[in-house]
Amino acid sequence: MSIVSEFKEFAIKGNVVDLAVGVIIGAAFGKIVDSIVRDLIMPVVGRIFGGLDFSNYYVMLADPPAGYSGPMTYEALTKAGVPLFAYGNFITVALNFLILAFIIFVMVKQINRLKREAPPPPPAAPAEDVVLLREIRDALKK
């Protein structure tokens, strides 16, 4: 079997296609969750804790370049090449992960609940000849 035909067989298998679809949907879903965290949740959390944006919580590990006159925000300093210990950004990403993991947990739990097998059907009534043979056996025991 040639490598091309082996690869074709591998690529066409249902598991590989399912995995590819899952990765694509997961990436899109990750962007949605990222937007929910960044645009909806973190502003509320930031407002509760003093109105600051968590993404701008950082510690500068070096001074900005000489002559830098831009804003002292995470984004601007990163573009200027200043090394930052961005713990606020980490908090945002960690919260993003926790929300995504919880949503996936709930989805898998619901899918597993739907996949549960129905209870096995009650055993069928024995055939007529089996019932007759049992009656004969019971009559002979007397």
**Domain carrying residue 113:** 3-134
Q: Is 140 helix (H, G, I), strand (E, B) or coil?
A: helix
Q: How many domains does the chain have?
A: 1
Instruction: Give ∠ CA 124-125-128 in degrees, rounded to 5.
Output: 135
Digitized pLDDT (tens) for each residue of the chain, 142 residues in all: 688 888 777 777 767 777 788 888 888 888 888 888 778 887 787 778 776 667 778 899 988 888 888 888 888 888 888 999 988 888 878 887 888 788 888 888 888 887 777 677 788 888 889 888 999 999 998 7
In a domain, 141, yes or no: no
The 10s digit of each residue's pLDDT in 90-106 is 887 888 788 878 888 88
The 10s digit of each residue's pLDDT in 106-127 is 888 888 887 777 677 788 888 8
Structure tokens at 136: 């004969």
CB-based contact 59:77 (threshold 8 Å) = no
CATH of the domain at 81: 1.10.1200.120
In a domain, 107, yes or no: yes
Global pTM value:
0.54
Q: Is 129 helix (H, G, I), strand (E, B) or coil?
A: helix
